[in-house]
Amino acid sequence: MAFIQSSPLPRVPPLKANSMPGEVVSVVGNVIGVDEETAYSWPACKFCGNDHLGKAQNPSTSEQHPFYYCFQCKTSFEKPLDKMSLDAYIACNSLPPEFCRIKVKMCQKSITDLLPQQEGKLGYELTSVLGKLIGPLFCVLSSSCKSIQNHQKNDVMFVLEELSCFANNP
């Protein structure tokens, strides 16, 4: 009798000091900071995800709730998607934080998971994510650069972008 073990995800190596740009790596770690300039949210079409929206007045009610109109779908709707952007600095399990800085551009689902369960409003609750454990996130290493200005010899900055295709799986 054969016993077949199936693994649902491909084996993704953890981020290492010698990981090269373009590699897909997995990252597990604690959030040690956020890039506030990247922390924002915007309304997007709930049908196609497009952010090219116009505001319209609901014609059928006298309420002041704005209606959004998607120029792509040519549809109006009341509740848009709350799309979010957030880059987090993390201390990675596979690399000591004193060795390098790691920045991850997170995808929507990971941001939602990370934020407290209150409306997902960014900007004011950023400190509440500090110390939280995230991952494993599957990311593409977009750059790895040695900082010359910095006097720490091994200060390497890794910039990663999460692969949203993994996170969008049901």
Kindly state the smallest distance separating residue 54's Cβ from Zn ion, in Å. 11
Q: Which is nearer to Zn ion, 9 or 48 (CB)?
A: 48
Q: Which is nearer to Zn ion, 50 or 143 (CB)?
A: 50
Contact in structure between 118 and 102 (CB atoms under 8 Å) = no
The residue ranges of DSSP E strands in the chain, in sequence order, are 24-44, 53-57, 66-70, 75-77, 81-92, 100-106, 133-146, 156-162
Contact in structure between 101 and 155 (CB atoms under 8 Å) = yes
Q: Which is nearer to Zn ion, 81 or 91 (CB)?
A: 81
Strand order in the sheet with 66-70: 53-57, 66-70, 75-77
Q: Which is nearer to Zn ion, 72 or 128 (CB)?
A: 72
Residues in the chain: 170
Kindly state the smallest distance separating residue 83's Cβ from Zn ion, in Å. 12
Q: Which is nearer to Zn ion, 72 or 143 (CB)?
A: 72
Binding site for Zn ion (CB under 5 A): 45, 47-48, 50, 70, 72-73
C-alpha 57/C-alpha 72 separation (Å) is 18
Kindly state the smallest distance separating residue 25's Cβ from Zn ion, in Å. 33
Closest residue by Cα to residue 106 from 168, 160, 142, 143? 160
